[in-house]
């Protein structure tokens, strides 16, 4: 099985590496634009802990919106189904930083994976902990079994200095009463959460519990219930790629999540987690090579949840 995946990964990796590398690195967060656009890595981790790595897999990258899944899981674990009073579970069909639907939806974001939704969940996190920033990092370090996972202060500051749209979103939601805390504090925590850096294997490890019925694979600790895990995976399937969620589902057929750092994580419940990282993005803000790799991977393995 492992050998089978290894051969497929190697051949797709080499094929894509030899092709043109289209798209553009995210520059609206200036610090992200410094990354080498030709870096390319993939890791696949099976639930028994075996892994396959290829390319620049030891290089950490900014996981950005992928962090929104971990944020959702942490707060969902704490407050349960009440969370859905503050954020909905519908695909938005709009870009990740769009403001338009909030007006008619009375400040209830369409889902937790657009910026509006993650800002509301960051606001809830502030009410749950004295030091929410440390609490989130501890949660992520526990999931990855790694104390070296950290925030990037330069990326956080770079986003805060240029994050006028997120500031608009946060203030707009506050005007409807769905942000309780000071918008500056919410924006800081949100940007910090997005600035977490990991390499591909660490990201696979962080997401393994979502492929394992909600239990961490290393120590079998239950992070979410099976029902909650189903729901988080379902939201990834329908909303993980913003207005390209249908396209990702159509081409790849797995729940997944992207970030503007160029990472994509996808998982096959009961089998594996796979992460691809390539910084150049398509116009929807999703990694061009990441989408292509995963499409070729599920096509070659003839395995998807459908």
Residues that bind ligand GLN (CB under 6 A): 64-65, 96-97, 115, 159, 166, 194, 259-260, 285
Residue 99 CB, shortest distance to ligand GLN, in Å, is 13
- What are the φ and ψ backbone dihedral angles of 137, each rounded to 5 degrees? -60, -40
Give the relative orientation of helices 67-79 and 115-128 as an angle to the nearest 10 degrees.
40
Sign of the torsion formed by the C-alpha atoms of 235, 163, 83 and 177: negative
**First CA to last CA across the chain, in angstroms?**
20
Reading the block at residue 88, the tokens are 């909905």
Q: Quick one: 12 or 160, whose CB is closer to ligand GLN?
A: 160
Comparing CA positions, the residue from 197, 194, 203, 219 lying closest to residue 273 is 203
Q: Quick one: 122 or 228, whose CB is closer to ligand GLN?
A: 122
Q: Quick one: 115 or 144, whose CB is closer to ligand GLN?
A: 115
Dmax of the chain from CA atoms?
55
Residue 159 CB, shortest distance to ligand GLN, in Å, is 6
Residue 166 CB, shortest distance to ligand GLN, in Å, is 5
Comparing CA positions, the residue from 25, 6, 16, 1 lying closest to residue 285 is 25
- Residue 23 per-residue DSSP state: S
Q: Quick one: 46 or 264, whose CB is closer to ligand GLN?
A: 264
Q: Quick one: 109 or 259, whose CB is closer to ligand GLN?
A: 259
* Chain position whose Cβ is nearest to ligand GLN: 65
Residue 122 CB, shortest distance to ligand GLN, in Å, is 11
- Within the chain, how many helices (H) and strands (E) appear? 12, 9
Residue 163 CB, shortest distance to ligand GLN, in Å, is 7
Spatial distance between the Cα atoms of 5 and 208, rounded to a whole number of angstroms: 17
Paired residues of 61 in beta bridges: 198
Residue 249 CB, shortest distance to ligand GLN, in Å, is 17
Residue 62 CB, shortest distance to ligand GLN, in Å, is 8
Q: Quick one: 229 or 286, whose CB is closer to ligand GLN?
A: 286
Q: Quick one: 46 or 194, whose CB is closer to ligand GLN?
A: 194
- Residue 9 per-residue DSSP state: H
Do 40 and 17 meet the contact criterion of CB atoms below 8 Å apart? yes
């Amino acid at each position: 099985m492992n050998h089978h995946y290894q051969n497929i990964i190697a051949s797709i990796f080499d094929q894509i590496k030899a092709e043109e590398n289209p798209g553009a690195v995210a520059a609206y967060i200036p610090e992200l634009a410094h990354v080498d656009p030709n870096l390319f890595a993939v890791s696949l981790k099976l639930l028994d802990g075996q892994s396959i790595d290829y390319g620049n897999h030891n290089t950490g990258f900014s996981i950005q919106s992928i962090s929104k899944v971990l944020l959702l899981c942490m707060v969902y674990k704490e407050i349960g189904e009440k969370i859905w009073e503050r954020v909905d579970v519908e695909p938005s069909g709009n870009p990740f930083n769009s403001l338009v639907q909030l007006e008619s939806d009375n400040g209830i974001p369409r889902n937790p994976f657009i910026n509006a939704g993650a800002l509301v969940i960051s606001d809830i996190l502030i009410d749950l902990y004295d030091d929410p920033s440390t609490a989130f990092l501890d949660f992520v370090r526990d999931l990855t079994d790694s104390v070296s996972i950290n925030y990037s202060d330069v990326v956080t500051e770079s986003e805060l200095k240029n994050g006028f749209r997120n500031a608009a979103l946060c203030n707009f939601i506050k005007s409807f009463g769905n942000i309780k805390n000071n918008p500056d504090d919410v924006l800081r925590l949100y940007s910090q959460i997005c600035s977490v850096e990991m390499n591909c294997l660490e990201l696979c490890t962080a997401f393994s519990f979502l492929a394992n019925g909600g239990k961490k694979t290393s120590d079998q600790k239950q992070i979410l219930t099976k029902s909650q895990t189903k729901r988080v995976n379902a939201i990834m399937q329908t909303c993980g790629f913003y207005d390209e969620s249908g396209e990702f589902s159509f081409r790849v057929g797995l729940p997944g999540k992207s970030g503007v750092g160029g990472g994509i994580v996808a998982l096959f419940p009961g089998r594996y987690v796979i992460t691809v990282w390539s910084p150049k993005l398509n116009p929807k803000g999703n990694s061009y090579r990441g989408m292509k790799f995963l499409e070729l991977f599920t096509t070659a393995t003839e395995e998807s949840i459908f």
